[in-house]
Amino acid sequence: MDLRLERVSHAYGSVRVLDDVSLAVPNGRIVCVVGPSGCGKSTLLRLMGGLERPLGGRVLQVGEPPAESLNPLTFIFQDFALLPWRTVAGNVALVLEDHRLGAGERERIIADVLARTRLTDFADAFPRQLSGGMKQRVGIARALSVRPAVMLMDEPLSALDSQTRELLLDDLVSLWLRTPFTAVYVTHNLEEAVRLGHQVVVLSGRPGRVRALVDIAVPLAERQPGDAVLEAHRRQLWQLLRDEASAVDRELLDA
Amino acid sequence: MPDASPDRAAGARPVPFRGGGFKPRPTGYAGPLAFVLLLALLELGARAGVISPLTMPAPSAVLQTLAELWTSGRLLDHLVPSLARLAVGATLGALAGIAVGLAIGLFSLARAGLVPLVAALFPIPKIALLPLFVIWFGIGEGSKYALIAFGTFTPMVVATYGGVDAVDRALIRMGQSFDLAWWSIVTKIILPGALPAILSGLRVASAIAIILLVAAEMLAAEHGVGAYVLEAGSLYDLERLFAGVTLLSLMGVVVNALIGRAERVLLRWRG
Ligand SMILES: Nc1ncnc2c1ncn2[C@@H]1O[C@H](COP(=O)(O)OP(=O)(O)OP(=O)(O)O)[C@@H](O)[C@H]1O
Ligand SMILES: [Mg+2]
């Protein structure tokens, strides 16, 4: 299943947040979205996930999601959004309980996703007992358990320290290599964008418009930290973003 | 350059400690100790003749009255009806209060319609309405249940919708993003999230319930701790009065302990 945005605009009251954004998220690829603070990245993701309705334009899903997908458009949240009163396994179970699955099937899915995110030993732990990185792995496990067609990730690693972030980034890459998933990945971190993205969308300052689309041809498996091509892409993105960010600053001064 | 004895270096001293506090620690002995101290003081005063039995009975005399009450079997005659009234009235009131509070928390229409109403009901001294309840529900158990239920209802409404309002909206969005059914969001996200507030509302409500229990029993009851206290009071029998008051305060302590236990079990996740 692909996701397509056609001339999407959005506003909160008189604040225009997104303006004429058209995008395609092809099946099996990761599209990263970068842009200055407050340019509407999170809003874009909420529109894609059906949590909000765009004021203008359309958000389309192209083709049917795979039959086994329980929740085609699935979020991974920056603040993890785990229920503190449920254990790790309970948090994953939460999103399966409303589906017609036998108890055995449910247990099997939970065991499988916890194994894939290396959380098996923590199945009975409560969120407060986990480190930030582990909490986000629970978020990832929960998302995987519903077999999403598209994963919508809003700065999933930005609440974590840089070492943990590096490790989880590796986790995401290896998850993708094993079974390629489709994802929209919002981030402030350009390293993450060039490590994960098949395409990077650069948004302008508010109202967010598509400023540039940068395709990164290096296959995910071959992307090493310090790779020259990736570094060139990162520089290019930084150049684009710096112009935008300083434009935002000037705007604030004028106001 | 590292000094061999840094403490003795000119002007070196430990950074003054400013943390700590603001975090209740369980100090198991302090509560009972305060009780024992007060009782010992009263007992000594009574024995020494400083405190006349006409102004304040000796704790030992009160204890003896309680013991007599127990051996004569009249303790249960009073305690059982009181506890039954408390249980029925408070349960009805708390359940209704939680339901209405939940409705206010979930539906804008209920909020707009009911919040002013609850605000108007809250400050009414419920005891003043007892005659009304007697007319509506009869002089028997019905009016007592109604009074206690009404008294617990309003604080539970306020506590519950406050708790619902405080539930992290991000968790609700999360539930929606996974296509959870409305009912699942209410029972698995909103109610557990509001539970801490509901339980602390229950503490307040249970204290109010005990106060109203006594009021109801004073007006119209043959049996019950309230009736016992009223009778003792009208005879100026201070020993029995204090025996009754002791029972009431014990009821409060036990109910509070039960709620504390419920909190420890239900809110285990808070650690
Ligand atoms: N529910 C809302 N109601 C009103 N204004 C909102 C709402 N959500 C977002 N906004 C505003 O819309 C703009 C874009 O917000 P959004 O969260 O999408 O930006 P963002 O690009 O994700 O920012 P950041 O990089 O800080 O995460 C901001 O100015 C924000 O204040
Ligand atoms: Mg954001």
Q: Which ipTM score applies to this complex?
A: 0.89
CB of A248 closer than 8 Å to CB of A36: yes
Q: Which two tokens stand for residue A26?
A: 């092809």
In angstroms, the separation between the Cα of residue A72 and the nearest Cα of chain B is 9
Q: State residue A7's pLDDT score.
A: 93
The residues that bridge with A4 in the sheet, in sequence order, are A24, A60
Measured distance CA(B271)–CA(B268) in Å, rounded:
6
Q: What is the mean pLDDT of residues A42-55?
A: 93
Average pLDDT over chain A reads 91
Taking 50 as the pLDDT cut, the residues of chain B under it are: 1
What backbone phi and psi angles, to 5 degrees, belong to A215? -90, 135
All structural domains of chain B: 72-270 (1.10.3720.10)
Is 0.90 surpassed by the pTM of this model? no
**Could you read off the pLDDT of A19-42 as tens digits, one per residue?**
999 999 999 999 999 998 888 999
Q: What is the CATH number of domain A2-65+149-254?
A: 3.40.50.300
Q: Where in chain A is the domain with CATH 3.40.50.300?
A: 2-65+149-254
Query: Using the beta-carbon criterion (under 8 Å), do B171 and A97 form an inter-chain contact?
Result: no
Q: Whose CA is nearest to atom 4 of ligand 1?
A: A12
Asked if the model's pLDDT at residue A245 lies above 80, the reply is: no
B170, B192, B269: residue with CB nearest A79: B170
**Could you read off the pLDDT of B225-234 as tens digits, one per residue?**
999 999 998 9
CA–CA distance from B100 to each of B110, B114, B162, B182 (Å)? 8, 9, 12, 18
Ligand nearest to the CA of A38: 1
Q: With pLDDT > 70 as the criterion, what percentage of chain B qualifies?
A: 97
Of all atoms in ligand 1, which is nearest to the CA of residue A13? Answer: 4
Query: Using the beta-carbon criterion (under 8 Å), do A94 and B170 form an inter-chain contact?
Result: no
Match 């009065």 to its residue by tokens.
B241
In angstroms, the separation between the Cα of residue B96 and the nearest Cα of chain A is 25
User: Pocket of ligand 1, candidates A14, A39, A77: which has the most ligand atoms within 8 Å of its Cβ, to mutate?
Assistant: A39
Cα B35 to the center of its chain, rounded Å: 19
Pocket of ligand 1 (CB under 6 A): A 12, 15, 17, 35, 37-43, 206
Interchain CB contact of A81 with B (< 8 Å): yes
